[in-house]
Amino acid sequence: MIPEIGHIILISHLVLSFMGGILPLAAIYSKNDFLSIPTKKLSVFLFFLILVPFLVLIYSFLIDDFSVAYVSQNSNINLPNYYKLAATWGAHEGSLLLWILAMNGWLIAYMFFNNSKDKDYISTVFSISCQVIFAFSLFTLFTSNPFERILPIPPLSGADLNPSLQDIAFTVHPPLLYFGYSGLMIPFAISVAAMLFSKDTKEWASNSRPWTLMSCSFLTLGIALGSWWAYYELGWGGWWFWDPVENAAFIPWLLSVALFHSLIASENRGVYGKWSILLSIFAFATSLLGTFLVRSGILTSVHAFALDPERGLFILGILAFFIIGSLFIYSIKDFENETTPSYELTSKEFGFLLNNLLLVVLAVSILFGTIFPLIYEAITDGKQISVGAPYFEVILFPFALALGLLQGFALYLSWGTSSSFKFLPRLLIESVSIFVLILIILFILFDNLHLTSFATIFLSSWILMGTLQINKNKNLNYWRFLRKRAAVTFAHSGMAILTLGVAVVSSYSIEKEIILAPDDSVEFGNQTILFKNTEDIMGPNYFSKSATMSFSDGSNISDVLTEKRTYSPSGQLTTEAGIKTEIFQDLYISMGDNLEADIWSFKVQIKPFIRWIWLGALMIAIGSLLAGIKRVRKT
Amino acid sequence: MKKVIDIFPLAIFVVLLIVLFSFLSEKDDQLETALVDSDFPDFSLSALSNDNKTLTKGDISKLPALINVWATWCIACRVEHPFLMQLKNESVLTIYGLNYKDNRTKALSLLERDGDPYEFSIYDFEGRLAIDLGVYGAPETFFVDKNGVIRERHVGVVDETVWEKKFAKYLNE
Amino acid sequence: MNKLIPLFFLVFSIEISGDEENKLDFNNDAYPFSSEAKETLFYSLLNELRCPKCQSSNLSGSNSPISNDLKREVYELVLEGNSAEQIKSHLVQRYGNFIIYNPPIEPATYILWFGPFLLILLAIFIILFVRKR
pLDDT digit string, tens, across residues A139-170: 999 998 999 988 778 888 888 888 878 888 88
Q: Which residues of B touch A374 (CB under 8 A)?
A: 23
Q: Does some domain include residue A433?
A: yes
Distance in angstroms (rounded) separating the CA atoms of residues A500 and A463: 10
Residues A438 and A367 in one domain: no
Residues A27-44 have pLDDT tens digits of 888 887 777 788 899 999
Which of A234, A365, A515 lies at the smallest CB-CB distance from C28? A515
B71: burial class by Cβ within 10 Å (0-12, 13-18, 19+)? buried
Q: Which residues of B touch A330 (CB under 8 A)?
A: 6, 9-10
A383 touches C at CB < 8 Å: yes
Q: What percent of chain A has pLDDT over 90?
A: 66
Subunit contact B35:C53, Cβ cutoff 8 A: no
Name residues whose C-beta falls within 8 Å of residue C59's C-beta, 6 or more positions apart in sequence.
C45, C46, C47, C49, C50, C51, C67, C70, C71, C74
Which of B14, B27, B30 lies at the smallest CB-CB distance from A309? B27
Which of A289, A371, A384 lies at the smallest CB-CB distance from B32? A384
Is C48 within 8 Å of C70 (Cβ atoms)?
A: no
C23: burial class by Cβ within 10 Å (0-12, 13-18, 19+)? exposed
User: What is the rounded average pLDDT for all residues in chain A?
Assistant: 90
Widest distance between CA atoms in chain C: 80
How near does any CA of chain A get to the CA of B85, in Å? 31
Average pLDDT over residues A545-563: 91
Q: Does some domain include residue A241?
A: yes
> Testing the interface with A: which of B1, B19, B24, B166 to mutate, by most A Cβ within 10 A?
B24
Residues A342 and A443 in one domain: no
Which of A380, A514, A596 lies at the smallest CB-CB distance from C29? A514
Subunit contact A244:C56, Cβ cutoff 8 A: yes
Residues A530 and A483 in one domain: no
The three-state secondary structure class of B26 is coil
Beta-bridge partner residues of A564? A545, A575
Residue of A nearest to B9 (CA): A327
Q: Does some domain include residue A619?
A: no
Residues A217 and A135 in one domain: no
pLDDT reading at C12 higher than 60:
no
B4 touches A at CB < 8 Å: no
Q: Which residues of B touch C93 (CB under 8 A)?
A: 34-35, 38
Query: Considering A365, A397, A416, which residue would you say is the last residue of a domain?
Result: A416
Subunit contact B32:A285, Cβ cutoff 8 A: no
Q: Does some domain include residue A531?
A: yes
Residues A361 and A432 in one domain: no
Query: Which ipTM was obtained for this model?
Result: 0.88
Residue of B nearest to A319 (CA): B17
DSSP state of A498: H
Write out residues 80-119 of C within 8 Å (CB-CB) of A.
96-103, 108-109, 112, 115-117, 119
pLDDT at A443: 94
Residues A491 and A521 in one domain: no
Query: Considering A166, A186, A217, which residue would you say is the last residue of a domain?
Result: A166
Subunit contact C92:B127, Cβ cutoff 8 A: no
Q: Does some domain include residue A441?
A: yes
Subunit contact C96:B34, Cβ cutoff 8 A: yes
Is A56 within 8 Å of A2 (Cβ atoms)?
A: yes
- The pLDDT profile of chain B, 173 residues, written as one tens digit per residue, is 457 888 999 999 999 999 988 887 655 556 666 788 889 999 999 999 988 999 999 998 888 899 999 999 988 899 999 999 999 999 889 999 999 999 999 999 999 999 999 999 999 999 999 999 999 888 999 999 988 899 988 888 899 998 988 888 888 77
Name residues whose C-beta falls within 8 Å of residue A192's C-beta, 6 or more positions apart in sequence.
A124, A128, A281, A326, A329
Subunit contact B14:A324, Cβ cutoff 8 A: yes
Q: What percent of chain A has pLDDT over 70?
A: 97
Q: Does some domain include residue A191?
A: no
Is B121 within 8 Å of B35 (Cβ atoms)?
A: no
Q: Which residues of A touch B18 (CB under 8 A)?
A: none
pLDDT at A370: 93
> Testing the interface with A: which of B3, B7, B10 to mutate, by most A Cβ within 10 A?
B10
pLDDT reading at A296 higher than 80:
no
Q: Does some domain include residue A180?
A: no
Distance in angstroms (rounded) separating the CA atoms of residues C73 and C104: 21
Distance in angstroms (rounded) separating the CA atoms of residues A137 and A146: 12
Subunit contact A388:C50, Cβ cutoff 8 A: yes
pLDDT at A232: 85
How near does any CA of chain B get to the CA of C69, in Å? 6
The three-state secondary structure class of A270 is coil
pLDDT at B4: 80
How near does any CA of chain A get to the CA of C52, in Å? 10
Subunit contact A390:C48, Cβ cutoff 8 A: yes
Which of B17, B28, B32 lies at the smallest CB-CB distance from A316? B17
Residues A378-412 have pLDDT tens digits of 888 878 899 999 999 999 999 999 999 999 999 99
pLDDT at A306: 46
Average pLDDT over residues C107-121: 94
pTM strictly above 0.90? yes
Distance in angstroms (rounded) separating the CA atoms of residues B127 and B135: 9
Q: Which residues of A touch B3 (CB under 8 A)?
A: 331
pLDDT reading at C8 higher than 50:
no
Enumerate chain A positions whose Cβ falls within 8 A of a Cβ in B.
Answer: 278, 281-282, 285, 289, 292, 296-298, 309, 312-313, 316, 319-320, 323-324, 327-328, 330-333, 371, 374-375, 378, 382-384
Distance in angstroms (rounded) separating the CA atoms of residues B139 and B121: 14
Name residues whose C-beta falls within 8 Å of residue A629's C-beta, 6 or more positions apart in sequence.
A210, A214
How near does any CA of chain A get to the CA of C57, in Å? 8
Residues A151 and A87 in one domain: yes
Residues A409 and A443 in one domain: no
Closest CA to C50 of C5, C95, C109: C95
How near does any CA of chain A get to the CA of B89, in Å? 34
Residue of C nearest to A387 (CA): C101
pLDDT at A482: 76
CATH code for B35-171?
3.40.30.10
Closest CA to A123 of A50, A58, A197: A197
Split into its structural domains, chain A has a count of 4
> Testing the interface with B: which of A331, A332, A340, A368 to mutate, by most B Cβ within 10 A?
A331
Which of C53, C70, C98 lies at the smallest CB-CB distance from B131? C70
The three-state secondary structure class of A500 is helix
Distance in angstroms (rounded) separating the CA atoms of residues A576 and A231: 11
pLDDT band at A342 (very low <50, low <70, confident <90, very high): low
User: What is the rounded average pLDDT for all residues in chain C?
Assistant: 81
Residue of C nearest to B101 (CA): C65
Number of neighbouring beta carbons within 10 Å of residue A227: 21
How near does any CA of chain B get to the CA of A318, in Å? 11
Residue of A nearest to B35 (CA): A383
pLDDT at C3: 38
Distance in angstroms (rounded) separating the CA atoms of residues B99 and B120: 10
Distance in angstroms (rounded) separating the CA atoms of residues C44 and A452: 15
How near does any CA of chain B get to the CA of C133, in Å? 14
pLDDT at A278: 96
Task: Name all chains with 3 or more CB-CB pairs below 8 Å to chain B.
Answer: A, C
pLDDT at A341: 61
pLDDT at C18: 39
Subunit contact B131:C96, Cβ cutoff 8 A: no
C60: burial class by Cβ within 10 Å (0-12, 13-18, 19+)? buried
Residues A469-515 have pLDDT tens digits of 887 777 777 777 777 888 999 999 999 999 999 999 999 999 999 99
Enumerate chain B positions whose Cβ falls within 8 A of a Cβ in C.
Answer: 31-35, 38, 101, 126-128, 130-134, 136-137
Residues A412 and A467 in one domain: no
Distance in angstroms (rounded) separating the CA atoms of residues C49 and C60: 8
Widest distance between CA atoms in chain B: 81
Subunit contact C60:A390, Cβ cutoff 8 A: no
Subunit contact C66:B127, Cβ cutoff 8 A: yes
Domain region containing A34: 1-166
Name residues whose C-beta falls within 8 Å of residue A24's C-beta, 6 or more positions apart in sequence.
A36, A37, A39, A123, A124, A126, A127
Residues in chain A, overall count? 635
Q: Which residues of A touch B14 (CB under 8 A)?
A: 324
Is C98 within 8 Å of A385 (Cβ atoms)?
A: yes
pLDDT reading at A300 higher than 70:
no
DSSP state of A234: S
pLDDT at C14: 40
Distance in angstroms (rounded) separating the CA atoms of residues A170 and A176: 10
Subunit contact B23:A384, Cβ cutoff 8 A: no
DSSP state of B27: -
Number of neighbouring beta carbons within 10 Å of residue A477: 7
Distance in angstroms (rounded) separating the CA atoms of residues C27 and C41: 18
Residues in chain B, overall count? 173
Q: Which residues of C touch A362 (CB under 8 A)?
A: 116
Subunit contact B134:C69, Cβ cutoff 8 A: no
Subunit contact A382:B32, Cβ cutoff 8 A: yes
Task: Name all chains with 3 or more CB-CB pairs below 8 Å to chain A.
Answer: B, C
pLDDT at B92: 85
Name residues whose C-beta falls within 8 Å of residue A19's C-beta, 6 or more positions apart in sequence.
A37
Residues A147 and A227 in one domain: no
Query: Considering A400, A416, A432, which residue would you say is the last residue of a domain?
Result: A416
Subunit contact A390:C27, Cβ cutoff 8 A: no
Residues C42-97 have pLDDT tens digits of 999 999 999 988 878 899 888 888 999 999 999 999 999 999 999 999 999 999 89
